[in-house]
Amino acid sequence: MQLDDGPWIHQMNWKAIRDYLSHSDIALVPVGATEQHGDHTPLMVDTGWAIAVAEGAARETNVLVTPPMHVGWSPHHLAYPGALTLRPETLTAMLVDVCESLIYHGFKKIVLVNGNRISNLPPMEIAAAKVRFSTGAYVSLIDVGLIARQEVSRICTVGENGHGGDSETSFMLHWKPELVDMTRAVKGHSGGSGPFATMPMPCEPPFDVNVLSVRPTAEEYGRASAPEGIGGDATLATAEKGKLVLEAIVRNTAIHINDIRGKTVSVRRPAIPI
Amino acid sequence: MQLDDGPWIHQMNWKAIRDYLSHSDIALVPVGATEQHGDHTPLMVDTGWAIAVAEGAARETNVLVTPPMHVGWSPHHLAYPGALTLRPETLTAMLVDVCESLIYHGFKKIVLVNGNRISNLPPMEIAAAKVRFSTGAYVSLIDVGLIARQEVSRICTVGENGHGGDSETSFMLHWKPELVDMTRAVKGHSGGSGPFATMPMPCEPPFDVNVLSVRPTAEEYGRASAPEGIGGDATLATAEKGKLVLEAIVRNTAIHINDIRGKTVSVRRPAIPI
Amino acid sequence: MQLDDGPWIHQMNWKAIRDYLSHSDIALVPVGATEQHGDHTPLMVDTGWAIAVAEGAARETNVLVTPPMHVGWSPHHLAYPGALTLRPETLTAMLVDVCESLIYHGFKKIVLVNGNRISNLPPMEIAAAKVRFSTGAYVSLIDVGLIARQEVSRICTVGENGHGGDSETSFMLHWKPELVDMTRAVKGHSGGSGPFATMPMPCEPPFDVNVLSVRPTAEEYGRASAPEGIGGDATLATAEKGKLVLEAIVRNTAIHINDIRGKTVSVRRPAIPI
Amino acid sequence: MQLDDGPWIHQMNWKAIRDYLSHSDIALVPVGATEQHGDHTPLMVDTGWAIAVAEGAARETNVLVTPPMHVGWSPHHLAYPGALTLRPETLTAMLVDVCESLIYHGFKKIVLVNGNRISNLPPMEIAAAKVRFSTGAYVSLIDVGLIARQEVSRICTVGENGHGGDSETSFMLHWKPELVDMTRAVKGHSGGSGPFATMPMPCEPPFDVNVLSVRPTAEEYGRASAPEGIGGDATLATAEKGKLVLEAIVRNTAIHINDIRGKTVSVRRPAIPI
Amino acid sequence: MQLDDGPWIHQMNWKAIRDYLSHSDIALVPVGATEQHGDHTPLMVDTGWAIAVAEGAARETNVLVTPPMHVGWSPHHLAYPGALTLRPETLTAMLVDVCESLIYHGFKKIVLVNGNRISNLPPMEIAAAKVRFSTGAYVSLIDVGLIARQEVSRICTVGENGHGGDSETSFMLHWKPELVDMTRAVKGHSGGSGPFATMPMPCEPPFDVNVLSVRPTAEEYGRASAPEGIGGDATLATAEKGKLVLEAIVRNTAIHINDIRGKTVSVRRPAIPI
Amino acid sequence: MQLDDGPWIHQMNWKAIRDYLSHSDIALVPVGATEQHGDHTPLMVDTGWAIAVAEGAARETNVLVTPPMHVGWSPHHLAYPGALTLRPETLTAMLVDVCESLIYHGFKKIVLVNGNRISNLPPMEIAAAKVRFSTGAYVSLIDVGLIARQEVSRICTVGENGHGGDSETSFMLHWKPELVDMTRAVKGHSGGSGPFATMPMPCEPPFDVNVLSVRPTAEEYGRASAPEGIGGDATLATAEKGKLVLEAIVRNTAIHINDIRGKTVSVRRPAIPI
């Protein structure tokens, strides 16, 4: 019999992790969400992004990955049954605790891999900054919607990549086809009201719009996304596009990991989180 | 193609969850840990317990399960590389947020399934009480080491069921044999110093000892469990015993779920966690 | 005139405490509760346990005791007039602050003496762990219901030792008879519903049951304990049994204190709590 | 035998408290401190003030008193062995929890009785305001150093009433002479440096000084009060003065209680603290 | 063109601050409030006090001033439109963060200048103590109502100096006459009910009263100050008195600053607030 | 004499605010920062942006503005003397408290105007979401670097608009020329290292880059911006460009305000922050 040798830390034993730390110092932390993605894909799409990207990039670069975090900051998605959300300070605390645990063991560079696009970003950016300042470790934050938005915009149909739309459904058709039912895929609303984009970081063109930030309440989100809960056109999705999209995001994530591999950082070992 | 119809919430779509809530109101929340279990089993043993017990009991009773929480309260395990821990207040907050999300949707009875034995209990009991008092929902806490300790004590060798010992290794041999390497299994120390048991809730006989509580520091735990990190005798493990142990714990958990199914509770719907 | 020389810290002057610290490093911290114990005993029974056990064990072992903490975690007892409760995080914080104060002065070993049985345990165990990890000091937690449950089960009537029942009333008849009115003592309900014990740490036999944790709400507790608020049979109580019970608990607590007296611990002096 | 009928809540049973609430709605909460008061009096002087004043005023006005809180906000006193301190937010939380418990039961007017003079005031004033705004209950704060400072200044020697000085020692000689050793009483330093009083609320004349607030660190306090820890002249103390001082403070506290007795307040019942 | 060389830090550039720190180590932090002051003066009166006093004293003593904090602890003032309040713990946290920032740069002595009289004091005193204990820096707290209450009582009419009354209106007539409309100035109520002063630190005679603390709710405050919101007689105000009042407070503040200039303090540099 | 009638709330009296609320329900909250902007402009540039944009847009649209908040989230700027920072949770709490105060009075739509570009965004977005969900009020977040980035990119030199560069210096030359010394203006570094932009929301082209988030530590930021602290070319700045830039940002902010004016929102009045 043989214990797993990675990249998932929870499938390894402690001696294998000890050995890894003798020559490397990078860990990935996948963070997803549990929230509806229409009638045709399951609530785990965002966690799926985080798992698939982290696992793919880790295999390409021979680094380790912590177990995935399945719940993010998704309060507006509670408009639909089943969605789970953490308070933002809980998500920040959870990531700080996990990062401090890793740094205590000798990890010095942590890449947070966010599968929930910009919804999770504020509490995750705060966590990353807290850990950087308190320990000196390098902590960066990859967002699956932003790290390869150029490539994704070329592969999928611009304007149809909203929540549960072309790119997300394509990804799921490639990664977990058994959890997709394309007979239920529809074209959702394409958002947009008022003179400015209200999500400050667009995942697809136009990238050059003037932006402000208005996070919708559950009531507003429910109304705006009714009746299915998605944005963009899910019927355009194919497994082939999903494969290309995932590869692009994994590739760019791997480029970042390789970019920081040789970086010298001076770490102050934190206390065990208690 | 067909979306999954349970028991895992994150593998379902929101309409299936909506339909479930029209006739049922129970959810299970599996909580594990990421901590070493010797040289022969991976860090995910405790999460494995929570996953396998929750999934098994849910299938027997037709209830739903949230995605698993992989990190618990394990500060003493940071003596060994790879272990992750949350601060206890983070674990409490995470569970409160998840439970409030569920109750917001209409779930009225939540069973927390703890795979990390008594290490996780204090912050989990606090979370359960907070949710009970603030919402009126029913929240109970199953511990895989306590809900069938009579049966486990009959199946495995009493005195050898410590951390990573007979029962835990047997479970893994049954549930994920590909993650076990029995050639590395050893007999660990059997703890015990001073005139009283220092863990107040024994998982195996003698159950009638006088007890007090002393939670070890990482230094103490590292010394006491050196060199492999386990307690009890892992070499006694077999997949057959693991199957019986899991079945007993699942059965008792299912008994509890069925016991609360008809219970009437009056719930005050919480606000969306924010 | 003569200042008191112990064991109560608040009845001593600072020079006497300074002198004590030149040769010893142990302090006891009694923690009780203010909650009803039926019509025949006062709300201070749990604080009484903590005071009497701490004082008795301290006199046997020549160690010091902090002033008693009168309020614990008793939310379900607010079903009855007069009960006070702290939030669990308040109780944790209070104990952390007191322990850090003690350790700042040079105390290295602290025994928390809990008189409120398992109700107080989760926040107290968290406090003990936090202090242990942050300072290195030794902190243990004695529960008056668990440290001598074998002896108490022999002295009093098994099955009648619930809240305000045989053993608690006997204790009060011995310790503060002027606060007991046996003409109002009754036999209360003996709890129990569903296939498992719902309190994971039994104080009396059967000790070997399968257990889970369900903390009752105030409404549930009020219903279950109506009309008097007690469990077990208070009419069986005698001062003689109370004396024997207290002696057993004191003796075992003293054994623990003597057991840790020579223990070497390396303490990192905390900052003054601020 | 007869249960106590007050004023101490913890010495009563729940039916007596229920009966009290049928005709009255006032409770006193005594808050002290555990901090040195020189070589001649014990660390409980401030808790003693709170106990004696609350008990005395309660007996005069037939109201109830919660058990005393022995630890306040005393960080500077950790300059001397044995002193305990809470963080200010812990003290605030403890009082909020206790007040909410009382108001849950039907108490509508709470008088916090502070025995630690102005050291405890900031966190206590915050607690009182929080409870007032969140529940509508009436909460006032009596300070034993301020409620009768005119009378105390006439009874004792002005300029000699500092920490552990004339008035505090006199009080202890009257209240607990067995805990005072006048052979060790000395005259301490009379503070004062810089052009302004640094304690903004003088307990004795001159009352009309210009004031600012500088709370000393433990180092500063230790230096300023060396070698004994007291301010003012303890050798002037007599039990007779102590009796007069206590009577004046009790009388004024009772006047305040009677003043609020008929006050109409509209209370929003809080949730049980959890 | 020329950058400002003080005293306002936010109007300087970093090199000027660097140069200042090479020879000095004092900073002032003005803290005000946004709350009504009757029909004739604007909501910024308290911030105006803090700004004018800090600026004046800084110019006299050549020290620097941080930008003003416009919101304090004013919950009772929400009885009138426009008032803003922080929770007390927010105000404490804000000041701790600002002080730690200053001390990180090398400031060693900080004078908090409070323009909101005793309303702001509890959270400000807690902030000052926390910073003192954690860093060793010197932090004092000047209150514009207390640092020159003798002089103000001589300049203005005793008994008419309440909220928005003689002294506050006079100050505004001197400092920002364009924001005062004396045609709307009236004589307000002069408070006072019950046998004791309910504000423990009187700003004007009688200073020698017996006091207790009762912070009014918004409802109570609204009723007590109706219909205009002020206390004291605003019609007595003149710009001449305002000039004298401001000069007295500035002078005394400057005396304090000069008094601490040569003080030696040993500072432990804090981490950057994160 | 005449009281101010807006737009600054703190320069008005409560009756004027009451009258405003009888016909309008919008308030702006300007939030800046205190951090270095090179040798040629003062530390208040970001607060200046917030003040000037809020005031300008408020005058165009006849809405009110709260007093400015001078301190934001700027931990990396502590590399240079004088910078102040709040912890992110303090900034979130401060904004929540201010927004709840406003909504308590009847304001229903709040526009947070951020002058510190993306540094402040995470804690501000969290505050906005918390207030939206808990009260139902509309809260949006304008960032002066994002609301008119198209126009600013046309007015100033692309690639030279970093921290303290062309656009920021131009703004200050227009708004507060007396606080600018162009003889000290220099060309700073233009950032950039690694294959991705590390600030996820570019204020100037290229807008279409792939992005990730890495918030620099103070050490990193100090090194990267040495020796002056700026990015972009400040020597290109002119007051004329500053006027155009400010007008564009004000105009777009006013467009947003007018866009939400008629929006119907249903508000649950919050409790007074306490």
User: Does pLDDT of F51 surpass 80?
Assistant: yes
Mean pLDDT score, C229-242: 96
Say whether E14 and F39 touch across the interface (CB within 8 A).
yes
For chain D, say whether C225 makes contact (Cβ under 8 Å): no
Given a contact cutoff of 8 angstroms between Cβ atoms, the answer to whether F140 and F256 are in contact is yes
Chains A and D touch (3+ CB pairs under 8 A): no
Q: Which of E42, E90, E104 sits opposite F10 (nearest CB)?
A: E42
CA D10 to chain centre: 19
User: Which two tokens mark C203?
Assistant: 């104080």
Q: Helix (H, G, I), strand (E, B), or coil: what is residue B211?
A: strand
C-alpha to C-alpha distance for F253 and F264, rounded to whole angstroms: 19
Q: What's the pLDDT score for residue C1? A: 42
C-alpha to C-alpha distance for C206 and D44, rounded to whole angstroms: 44
Q: What's the pLDDT score for residue B1? A: 41
Chain D residue numbers with beta carbons less than 8 Å from the beta carbon of B133 are: 271-272, 274
Q: How confident is the model at residue E199 (pLDDT cuts 50, 70, 90)?
A: confident
**Strand-pair category, D26-31 with F26-31:** unpaired
How far F271 CA lies from chain D's nearest CA (Å)? 8
User: Does pLDDT of E1 surpass 60?
Assistant: no
Please identify which residue in the block is written with the tokens 């309190």.
C199
- Candidates E133, E135, E139: best to mutate against C (most CBs of C within 10 A) is E133
pLDDT digits (tens, 9 = 90+) for B189-204: 765 667 899 888 899 9
Say whether F90 and E90 touch across the interface (CB within 8 A).
yes
Chain B residue numbers with beta carbons less than 8 Å from the beta carbon of D271 are: 133-134
How far D138 CA lies from chain F's nearest CA (Å)? 16
Q: What's the pLDDT score for residue C190? A: 67
pLDDT digits (tens, 9 = 90+) for A82-116: 999 999 999 999 999 999 999 999 999 999 999 99
Mean pLDDT score, F27-51: 97
Chain A residue numbers with beta carbons less than 8 Å from the beta carbon of C134 are: 271, 274
Exposed (0-12), middle (13-18) or buried (19+): which is F262, by Cβ within 10 Å? Answer: exposed
Say what the ipTM of the complex is: 0.97
Exposed (0-12), middle (13-18) or buried (19+): which is D93, by Cβ within 10 Å? Answer: buried
How far B130 CA lies from chain D's nearest CA (Å)? 6
User: Does pLDDT of A6 surpass 90?
Assistant: no
For E272, the closest chain A residue by CA position comes to: A133
Say whether E36 and F18 touch across the interface (CB within 8 A).
no
Q: What's the pLDDT score for residue E62? A: 97
C-alpha to C-alpha distance for F97 and F243, rounded to whole angstroms: 34
Backbone angles phi, psi at E139, to 5 degrees: -130, 120
pLDDT digits (tens, 9 = 90+) for E47-98: 999 999 999 999 999 999 999 999 999 999 999 999 999 999 999 999 999 9
Say whether B130 and D271 touch across the interface (CB within 8 A).
no
For chain E, say whether F259 makes contact (Cβ under 8 Å): no
C-alpha to C-alpha distance for B153 and F242, rounded to whole angstroms: 79
Q: How confident is the model at residue C117 (pLDDT cuts 50, 70, 90)?
A: confident
Element (H, E) at A132: helix A121-135
Chain E residue numbers with beta carbons less than 8 Å from the beta carbon of C274 are: 129-130, 133-134
For chain C, say whether A271 makes contact (Cβ under 8 Å): yes
pTM: predicted TM-score of the whole model, two decimal places: 0.97
For chain F, say whether D134 makes contact (Cβ under 8 Å): yes
Q: What percent of chain A has pLDDT over 90?
A: 92
- Candidates A138, A152, A203, A214: best to mutate against F (most CBs of F within 10 A) is A214
Mean pLDDT score, D146-154: 97
User: Does pLDDT of E190 surpass 80?
Assistant: no
pLDDT digits (tens, 9 = 90+) for A8-24: 999 999 999 999 999 99
Given a contact cutoff of 8 angstroms between Cβ atoms, the answer to whether C227 and B139 are in contact is no
**Please, which contacts does B182-185 make with residues 24 or more away whose CB atoms are closer than 8 Å?**
B182/A1, B182/B40, B182/B234, B182/B235, B182/B237, B183/A1, B183/B40, B184/A3, B184/A13, B184/B38, B184/B39, B184/B40, B185/B38, B185/B39, B185/B40, B185/B234, B185/B235, B185/B237
Number of C-alpha atoms within 13 angstroms, CB side, residue F28?
35
pLDDT digits (tens, 9 = 90+) for E209-268: 999 999 999 999 999 999 999 999 999 999 999 999 999 999 999 999 999 999 999 999
Mean pLDDT score, D164-189: 96
Q: Helix (H, G, I), strand (E, B), or coil: what is residue F2?
A: coil
C-alpha to C-alpha distance for D180 and D194, rounded to whole angstroms: 34
pLDDT digits (tens, 9 = 90+) for D27-67: 999 999 999 999 999 999 999 999 999 999 999 999 999 99
Exposed (0-12), middle (13-18) or buried (19+): which is A238, by Cβ within 10 Å? Answer: middle
Q: In what order do the strands lie in the sheet containing E109-114?
A: E64-65, E26-31, E109-114, E138-143
Q: What's the pLDDT score for residue A1? A: 42
Torsion of CA A258, A261, A265, A269, to 10 degrees: 110
pLDDT digits (tens, 9 = 90+) for C138-194: 999 999 999 999 999 999 999 999 999 999 999 999 999 999 999 999 999 765 667
Q: Helix (H, G, I), strand (E, B), or coil: what is residue F85?
A: coil
User: Does pLDDT of A176 surpass 60?
Assistant: yes
Please identify which residue in the block is written with the tokens 């009110």.
F64
Please identify which residue in the block is written with the tokens 């194919």.
A238
Number of C-alpha atoms within 13 angstroms, CB side, residue B64?
30
C-alpha to C-alpha distance for F228 and B5, rounded to whole angstroms: 61
Asked which of A37-41, C233-237, F185-189 is least confident by mean pLDDT, the reply is F185-189
Q: What's the pLDDT score for residue C201? A: 87
Rg (C-alpha) for chain A, rounded Å, is 19
C-alpha to C-alpha distance for C120 and B53, rounded to whole angstroms: 29
Q: What's the pLDDT score for residue E118? A: 84
Q: What's the pLDDT score for residue A2? A: 52
Chain D residue numbers with beta carbons less than 8 Å from the beta carbon of F271 are: 133-134
pLDDT digits (tens, 9 = 90+) for D71-122: 999 999 999 999 999 999 999 999 999 999 999 999 999 999 999 988 999 9
User: Which two tokens mark F59?
Assistant: 């005058």
The most distant pair of C-alpha atoms in chain D lies apart, rounded to whole Å, by: 62
- Candidates A96, A118, A119, A125: best to mutate against F (most CBs of F within 10 A) is A125
Name subunits touching C (3+ CB pairs < 8 A): A, B, D, E
pLDDT of chain B, 274 residues: tens digit per residue: 457 778 999 999 999 999 999 999 999 999 999 999 999 999 999 999 999 999 999 999 999 999 999 999 999 999 999 999 999 999 999 999 999 999 999 999 999 999 998 899 999 999 999 999 999 999 999 999 999 999 999 999 999 999 999 999 999 999 999 999 999 999 997 656 678 998 888 999 999 999 999 999 999 999 999 999 999 999 999 999 999 999 999 999 999 999 999 999 999 999 999 9
Q: How confident is the model at residue F1 (pLDDT cuts 50, 70, 90)?
A: very low
Q: What's the pLDDT score for residue F8? A: 98
Q: How confident is the model at residue D194 (pLDDT cuts 50, 70, 90)?
A: confident
Say whether E129 and D198 touch across the interface (CB within 8 A).
no
pLDDT digits (tens, 9 = 90+) for F153-208: 999 999 999 999 999 999 999 999 999 999 999 999 765 667 899 888 889 999 99
Q: How confident is the model at residue E200 (pLDDT cuts 50, 70, 90)?
A: confident
Angle at C260 between CA C254 and CA C262, to 5 degrees: 120
Mean pLDDT score, F86-100: 98
- Cβ contacts of B82 within 8 Å, gap of 6 or more: A9, A12, A14, A17, A18, A105, B34, B36, B43
Q: What's the pLDDT score for residue A193? A: 61
- Cβ contacts of D39 within 8 Å, gap of 6 or more: C13, C14, C15, D181, D184, D185, D186, D228, D229
Given a contact cutoff of 8 angstroms between Cβ atoms, the answer to whether F164 and F117 are in contact is no
For chain B, say whether C158 makes contact (Cβ under 8 Å): no
Backbone angles phi, psi at C26, to 5 degrees: -110, 135
Q: What's the pLDDT score for residue B2? A: 52
Given a contact cutoff of 8 angstroms between Cβ atoms, the answer to whether B267 and B137 are in contact is yes
Say whether A1 and B177 touch across the interface (CB within 8 A).
yes
C-alpha to C-alpha distance for F237 and E156, rounded to whole angstroms: 52
For chain C, say whether B147 makes contact (Cβ under 8 Å): yes
Q: What's the pLDDT score for residue D1? A: 42
Mean pLDDT score, E206-210: 93
For C127, the closest chain A residue by CA position comes to: A274
**Strand-pair category, B138-143 with C26-31:** unpaired
Top-tier CATH class for C9-260: alpha beta
C-alpha to C-alpha distance for A93 and A79, rounded to whole angstroms: 25
User: Which two tokens mark B221?
Assistant: 């735990």
Q: Identify which of F174, D37, F46, C121 has the alpha carbon closest to the alpha carbon of residue B212.
A: C121
- Cβ contacts of B260 within 8 Å, gap of 6 or more: B26, B109, B111, B138, B140, C194
For A135, the closest chain E residue by CA position comes to: E271
User: Does pLDDT of A226 surpass 50?
Assistant: yes
Q: Helix (H, G, I), strand (E, B), or coil: what is residue B270?
A: coil
Beta strands in chain C (DSSP E): 26-31, 64-65, 109-114, 138-143
User: Does pLDDT of E105 surpass 70?
Assistant: yes
Mean pLDDT score, A206-212: 93
